[in-house]
A and B are shown apart, each in its own frame.
Chain A
Amino acid sequence: MSEIDLETARKVAHLARIAVPEDKLPALAQELSDILNFMEQLNEVNIEGVEPMTSVTPMRLKRRPDGVTDGGMQDRILANAPDAREGFFAVPKVVE
C-alpha cells in the first residue's frame, strides 16, 4: 500500500516524541516500509462482516463504587522523579 517516505518518517518520529537525526531518517523509512510490507498480507483476508476484537475473553468488566481508594503519598510519588521541587514535578518552562 504505502511506502514510507522521508517526510512520513519524520512525522511519525515526531508523533512518537522520539528525536531521530536527519541522517538516520532514510534507514528508518526503509525499516518501517519493510515491516509495513510484511503487514500487507492482512489485505488477503476476507474481513467482511467481522467485528474487530475488543476483549479476548468474553467478560464483563467489574464495577466498583466511584470513590477515592488511595492517596496521601506525595513524597513516595515524587521519590522517583528526575526533578522534583517543592512537592511538584519540575519540567522546562511550558508557557511563555
Chain B
Amino acid sequence: MSNTRPVPPMPRISLRSESAAAIVVFAVLALLPLMMGGYVIYVLPQYLIYGVLAMSLGMLWGYAGILSFGQAAFFALGAYAMGLAMKAGFGAGDGYLGLLAAIVVGAGLAFLVGYFLFSAGVRDIYFVLITLALSIMVQQIAISQSSLTGGFNGMYIPRMDLALGPLGRVSLAHDRAIYYLVLPVTVAIYAGLRRLTRSDFGKVLVGIRENEGRTLSLGFDTSWYKTIAFTISGAVACFAGALYGAHAEFVSPSLASVAFSTEVVIWVAIGGRQSLLGALLGGLGVAALSNYLDGLSPVFWQLILGGIFVAVIIAFKGGIAGALGRLVARKDDAHG
C-alpha cells in the first residue's frame, strides 16, 4: 500500500546505560561457572549462541529496518557446514575449517540473495516471505539430501578441539571449556556489531530504516548498504550455527524450520529490536524460559509466547529494552 506513514523514532536507550548493562551482564556470565556447574553451565553456551543469532537479526531489523524470516536457514547451514567439515577428516584444523566455512557460506549466500533482491527494490513483506521460503528450501534440501545430511534423522557432529598451534590442543569436551570459548566469542560479536551500528555505516542503515527515499537522494546507494547489512547478518547467523553444531554435537533439518525462524523473530521482538543487548538477552532469556517451561507445559507456553509477541507488536514496539530505556530516560529527566 502507498499510505505508509513514517514511523516516529523510538526512544533510544542511552548509550551509557546500555554499555553499563552489557558490562554487568558479561561479568556475571564470566563468573557464573566459578559458582555453579552441572546442567546450567552445560546449557548456557547454547543460549548464548541463540543470543548471537538474535543479534544477527537485531542488527538487520532494528537498525536497517529489514526483517528476515530466514535467519534459521543460515543458522542451520552453519551447523551443517560444521558437521560436514568434521566429517571431512582434515585432522587438527577441522573445527576451524567448519567455522570458516560457515562464515563464507553465510556471507556468500546472504550477499547473493541480498544483492539479487535489494538491487531490484524487493523489500518489506516481499523480503519477509522470500526469506521464509529460504528457510523452507534449506529444510527441504537437508531432508532430501540424506546421504550428505542424514536426512530426517539428522547428523552427529563430534565436538571440535581448539588447536592452538605450538601450545597444543585444548579439548572442548568439558562444559566449562566450551563455555569459555562461546562467551568471549559472544562478547566479541556483540562489541563488533555495536561498533558497526554506531559507525557511519550504521547511521546510513538507520537513515534507510527511517526513510529510504531520502537516504537515496542524499547520494547513498541504499541497495548496496542493505546488501552489506544482510551479508554481515547472514555471516553472523551462519557462524552461530556452526558454534551451535559444535556445542550440541547434533544438527537436524528442524533447525531450519518455520517454527525456529519464527522463534528468532520473537526473541528479538521481546528483547527489543533496537538494542543489540536487548536482542542478545531476548535470545538467551526467552530460550532459557522456553526450555524450562516447555518441560512443564509445552503447548501452553508456546501459546503464551504467541500472545506476548502480539502484545509487543501492539503496545511495546521497543520490547523490554525499549521499555527500560524509556524508564531510564524518564528518571534522567526527573533528576534534571
Are A and B bound to each other? no
By a beta-carbon cutoff of 8 Å, the part of chain A in contact with chain B is none
By a beta-carbon cutoff of 8 Å, the part of chain B in contact with chain A is none
